[in-house]
Amino acid sequence: MVLAGGAVLAGSLLVVGPAGATRAGPAGPGAGSGASAWVAPAAGHDTPAGFWYGTDSWPIAVSSQRPYREPVIGGYYGGYIGMAGNWAHWLGCGGQLAWSATNAAQANTNLTTYHVGIGTGVYWFMGGPGVDPHYSGTTAEAYAWGRAQARRAVWDIGFDHVTYPVVFMDVELPGIPPAPDNGWNSVYTSPCSGRVRTYHVPPQVDRADFNGFWDYIRYHTRFTPGVYSSPGVWASIFGTGSASYIPHTDEWTYMDDTDSLADPPSGWCLPSTSTCARFFGGVTASAPQALMWQWSGGGGTHNGYGDFDQIDANRQP
C-alpha cells in the first residue's frame, strides 16, 4: 500500500495538524451549494449500485470539475483512504505519512455536497509485536502494544476530516526499513535498529497485538475496527489456525490485483477475466465484512498513477 504508485502527481502530503501543529501526540507506549437539488446520473458509476471507485494513500490528480471524477478510468470519485499514522513515524524510526489533504477534501465534497461515495477513511500502518519497545514474548504485552497503537491512531485521526466509520489496521510485510516485516515475523533488538534478535513470533502473540487494537477501536471510540491485508500475507503472519480466523472483522484486500487500468472492476471482478478480489481470515467476497478491494497499484503492481480502489458502500457499517 505505502510503496505503490510511484511519483506524486497532484495534491500534497499532510504531515502537520491544524494551524501547523505537528503530530507529536501522546508519548509512546509505556510513557506516562444546493446539494439537495443535485441528482447523480445513473451512468458512469462503478457497478452494481452502491459500489464506488476511489483512491488511497499518495496523491493522485483529480480533475477540478464537480462532482469530482475518478482519475484515469472515469466514474464518480467515490472515496479516499489515507494513512492516519505509522508506527515507525510515531516512534521516531523514519517512515512517511501517505496522506493527501487534497484528495480527502475532494472525496468529502463529493459526499457532503453531491451525496456521492463514502468521503474519507483512514488506516494505521501497524507494527507487529517484534517492534514493540517493551516486547516480552507474552500475549499480554502484545495486546498492550496493539492498544497503544490504537490510542495513537485515534489521536492522529483527530487531525483529519474522516467520514467513513472503519479504521483499518494495515497488516503487511512492506519490505522497507527499519523492519521489513513490520515486526510480525521477527523480533528486533529495538524498534529502529533494523537488527533481528529472533526470527519468529508465535501466531497467538501476533493475534494479541491485533486484538489490542481491535478492542480499543471497538469499545472506546465511535469507529469500527477493520484490517487491510491479503490472503498470502495474512497466512504468513497468523498461520491457518484459530489465530488467523477473523470472520466478523471488516476487510480491505489487495488480491488479486492488476497493473492495467483498461477494464475497471465490477462487483469484485475484472470484466471478461477470472480475476476477482480475494479476502482472508474466513471472510469471502460475498460476506458483509468484504468492504474494499485495492484492485490496482497495491501489492507491488505499478500502473503509472497510484492506488485504485473499489468500495462497496452497501456494506458500510
Please name which of 14, 17, 11 lies closest in space to residue 159, comparing C-alpha atoms: 17
Between CA 233 and CA 245, with CA 239 as vertex, the angle to 5 degrees is 95
Distance CA 56, CA 165 (A): 16
Where does the chain show beta strands of DSSP type E?
51-56, 77-86, 120-125, 166-170, 187-188, 196-198, 224-229, 250-253, 290-296, 307-312
Q: What is the mean pLDDT of the chain?
A: 88
User: In this structure, are strands 51-56 and 166-170 parallel, antiparallel, or unpaired?
Assistant: unpaired
DSSP codes, 185-206: S-EESSTTT--EEES---HHHH
Burial degree of 73 (CB within 10 A; 0-12, 13-18, 19+): middle
> Cβ(37)–Cβ(290) under 8 Å?
no
Mean predicted confidence (pLDDT) in 259-264: 94
Q: Is the peptide bond before 177 cis (omega within 30 degrees of 0)?
A: no
Mean predicted confidence (pLDDT) in 10-25: 34
Please name which of 284, 312, 315, 309 lies closest in space to residue 48, comparing C-alpha atoms: 312
- Which of 3-7, 261-265, 297-301 is least confident? 3-7
Q: How many CA atoms lie within 13 A of 212 on its CB side?
A: 28
Distance CA 262, CA 78 (A): 19
Q: Angle at which helices 203-220 and 231-238 pack, to 10 degrees?
A: 110
Q: Provide the pLDDT confidence category of residue 40 given band limits of 50, 70 and 90.
A: very low
Q: Provide the pLDDT confidence category of residue 14 given band limits of 50, 70 and 90.
A: very low
Amino acid at 157: I
Q: Is the peptide bond before 256 cis (omega within 30 degrees of 0)?
A: yes
% of the chain residues with pLDDT over 90: 81
Residue count (the chain)? 317
Asked whether the predicted pLDDT for residue 37 surpasses 70, the reply is no
- Classify 88 as helix, strand or coil: helix
> Cβ(1)–Cβ(122) under 8 Å?
no
Amino acid at 285: A
Q: Which residue has the cell 452497501?
A: 314
Query: What are 63-78's pLDDT values in tens digits?
Result: 889 999 999 999 999 9
Higher pLDDT: 46 or 179? It is: 179
Q: What is the pTM of this model?
A: 0.88
- Classify 22 as helix, strand or coil: strand
Q: Domains in the chain, please, with CATH?
A: 44-315 (3.20.20.80)
- Contacting residues for 234 by C-beta, under 8 A, at least 6 apart: 171, 244, 280, 281
Query: What are 136-191's pLDDT values in tens digits?
Result: 999 999 999 999 999 999 999 998 899 999 999 999 999 999 999 999 999 999 99
